[in-house]
Chain A
Amino acid sequence: MNAADITNPASPGNNPESNPYALNESSRARTCDTTKLPVCFDAQRFIRLNAVLAVVFLLVGGIAALLLALTRWQTVHLLPADWFYRILTLHGFNMLIFWILFFEVAILYFCCTSLINARLYSRKVAWVSFGMMAAGALMVNGIILAGKADVLLTSYLPLLAHPLFYLGIIFMAVGTLIGVFNFFATLFMARRHKTYEGSVPLVTFGATAAAIIAVVTLLHGAIVMIPTFTYSMGWTAQPDPMWYRMIWWGLGHMSQQVNVCAMVAVWYLVATLAVGAKPLNEAVCRSAFVLYILFINIASAHHLLVDPGVGATWKIWNTSYAMYLAVLASMIHGFTVPASVEVAMRTKGYIKGIFGWVANLPWRNPAFSAVVLSLVIFGFIGGITGVTLGTQQINIIAHNTLRIPGHFHATVVGGTTLAFMGLAYYVVPLIFRRDYIWRSAARIQPWIFAGGITLMSFGMSFAGSMGVARRTWDIDPAGAVYGPPAHVMLGLAGIGGSLAFIGLLLFVLLTVGTLLFGRNNTGRAMESWGEPRDIGDAASVARKTDKEEHKTPGTLVLVLIFLAVFAVYYFANWKALADVWPVR
């Protein structure tokens, strides 16, 4: 007990038994029957509200996705041109902004309450946040569907939308910011009133990193959207289009780093829930999160690599800060997460060979398989393509082609969205307290979605390498420059997209079906998805693991393969660049 506590009037005094901020002593909380974690009733309510709305927007964005996939597939070419761009705008907003942000606010509320035994700072603030976000989202969707904002996600000036469109975005941003404030206030009160001992858990730390980046991100949003709104009202002059691009990507790119942070936190969380994984070295994991915060600030630069008016030095410096430390952070998490799983499995006795533990992982647990697939797709496809396309000169042969959506559907869809889906397989049983219906379908859902997204990403990337532009309704007016191979690739993307849609729809049906018809599990543990058993007699395992505990040969082989693939892809792109016309 230090001096601050004694002088603090709000402190419960020297009787630690009656800490009104601690969940485990509060009447406004329960103990989870499965994990024994405390659950704050206020947080539970807002986790439910935000998660439900997130899934609604996922469905809206998903239906839009199917329409888009079936339009870019030239043989089907479903929508007319005006509706293609309208639905593309709708898709971008409902997926990248609404589905992701509502779900992230739910994650934040969980991480700042249950994991540190603290009650949610304020119910009122949570209501305001939720209300503003919902109002903003409805405004944006209404205006888009009314045909008054066919400007796509980026709404680059001088394209102009209806003022309510910008106002809706501002509402969404401010609402999220208020939710993030609630998160920080909860953390602050928890620390001040000592609801937990020592440092916050790793998952909360990751969520905090996400929240810090979110604040900077949303401020960029305000800086760019407010003058655009006043311009759309005719009150102020038009902001410079290049200035708009730079600040808009401060919002657009940094929010992707929020998603990466949240996704990695979910990786750690699910690895713990599914196999009892624990990080080898907390300091390494935490430092990697700090790298995200410090080295992402103007990475918006990699969206401006072939723009006029920003020089090469600026571009190189701001994409890499001389050493790509944000990329390093992802490469570190890409090691520590599988390594923690490997160690957990070896400790359980799965010590055969380099990869013996892999076969015995709980592959039938959809949360776990979703997280593994998320890690693989994010790393091997999203990460490698992202860093390569974001290389200053290589961007010349990639900018605004379908290679770009091919890349980010592997990060924010195959990575973040899939990880969030995986988390839902625990959130619904633990927070909504209902066991999943139709469990055999749930077990294959992540594989369908991952397979579809991977195929779509391949199709888009190869079509893009042949010069097929993104955001383009029809490629045939360009004549013979796009041959049959490009059409085949668009077909593959269309098939992959449709498959991904089936996976997405299955997820929504399972989740909504469970909310309506799932068996209530109050008073007992959730029905287990299946866990790896401890095998072997404890004594021999103990003998073995004593030596082997921190040995992670399987993970090392995996990351070395990753590095090799990365290097091949990276230098192949330099080669492709060297073959085009000299330009400077």
Chain B
Amino acid sequence: MSIKPPPSNWFQAPSGNERLWIGLALMWCLIMFVMMPFWHLRGQQNSTGEAYAISPRDFQAQVEQFVERNQVGSEGHDPIVEPPPGGDAYLLARMWSWYPILQLQAGETYRLHISSLDIQHGFSLLPMNMNFQIIPGYDHVLTITPQAPGEYTIVCNEFCGIDHHRMIGKIIVK
């Protein structure tokens, strides 16, 4: 009875099916653990959390400089900016936009710096559905390699105020 004190000899080793199941479950738990370090060595998709402390003001200045140096066009009010292949790219999150529009080359690897000017935002790259947290004061660096050419959408997936659902950005891959 689980609602009565147990008999005094309650402490016994598991046996039969119960022991079998505990063994199987433990093995499965170990497999699940091993997968994570394994993927760091062999897999291509990892979140290392690489980040640097930076004030929102300084980050904004870096983004402006990046845009000035590398702008290749514009769409509406938004500059389209193409970083040097293999170089650093900057993306600013703020209520409620992503700035600027990035233009990247497929197959090249970029160091993509993302930070926020105000509150927390969520970087969600569609349609791949890749998601990273963006926090003011932290320059979050994603070392990322775009694959197929096309237009990709960034949505914000951390609640950031009344127009959160309108915080949409774009990445163009050539």
Contact = CB atoms under 8 A, between A and B. Distances in A.
Contacts of B165: 81, 472-475, 477-478
Given A306-B131, A478-B168, A552 B36 contact: no
A339 B144 CA distance: 49
B145 interface: yes
A135 B37 CA distance: 47
B100 to A, nearest CB: 18
Given A198-B8, A470-B157, A559-B21, A395 B33 contact: no
Nearest to A271: B2
14 contacts: A198-B6, A242-B138, A284-B18, A308-B49, A312-B49, A319-B36, A320-B29, A320-B36, A339-B18, A467-B155, A470-B157, A550-B15, A580-B129, A582-B44
Nearest to A480: B153
B122 interface: yes
Contact of A391 (B2, B32, B158, B161): B32
Interface residues of B, number: 84
B130 interface: yes
- Which one of B32, B143, B145, B156 has the highest number of Cβ atoms from chain A below 10 Å of its Cβ? B32
A455 to B, nearest CB: 22
Minimum-distance CB pairs A-B, first 3: A308-B51, A469-B157, A308-B140
B6 A469 contact: no
Contacts of A336: 18
A94 to B, nearest CB: 18
A37 B3 contact: yes
A315 B33 CA distance: 12
A433 to B, nearest CB: 19
A583 B129 contact: no
A399 B28 contact: no
A581 B6 contact: no
Interface string A135-168: 0000000000000000010001011000000000
B10 A282 contact: yes
B61 interface: no
Interface of B: 1-8, 10-18, 20-22, 24-26, 28-30, 32-33, 35-37, 39-40, 43-51, 109, 118-120, 122, 124-147, 153, 155-159, 161-166, 168
A59 to B, nearest CB: 25
Interface stretch (A172-180, A200-208, A211-219): A200-208
Interface of A: 37, 81-82, 85, 115-116, 152, 156, 158-159, 196-203, 240-242, 245, 268-269, 271-273, 276-285, 304-312, 314-316, 319-320, 322-325, 327-328, 331-332, 335-336, 339-340, 387, 391-393, 395-401, 465-467, 469-475, 477-479, 481, 550-553, 555-556, 559, 563, 566-567, 570, 574, 577-584
- Most chain A CB within a 10 A radius of its CB, from B25, B124, B136: B25
B36 to A, nearest CB: 5
A556 B25 contact: no
A401 to B, nearest CB: 7
B18 A465 contact: no
Given A85-B162, A567-B28, A581-B128, A279 B2 contact: yes
A400 B145 contact: no
A278 B142 contact: no
A304 B49 CA distance: 9
Given A158-B136, A241-B137, A401-B157, A284 B14 contact: yes
A306 B159 contact: no
A306 B133 contact: yes
B47 A393 contact: yes
A325 B124 contact: no
Contact of B47 (A202, A570, A583): A583
Contacts of B142: 583-584
B117 to A, nearest CB: 11
A534 to B, nearest CB: 17
Given A199-B5, A393-B43, A158 B119 contact: yes
A45 B124 CA distance: 50
Contact of A281 (B18, B33, B147, B163): B18
A335 B18 contact: yes
Contacts of A478: 126, 153, 155, 165, 168
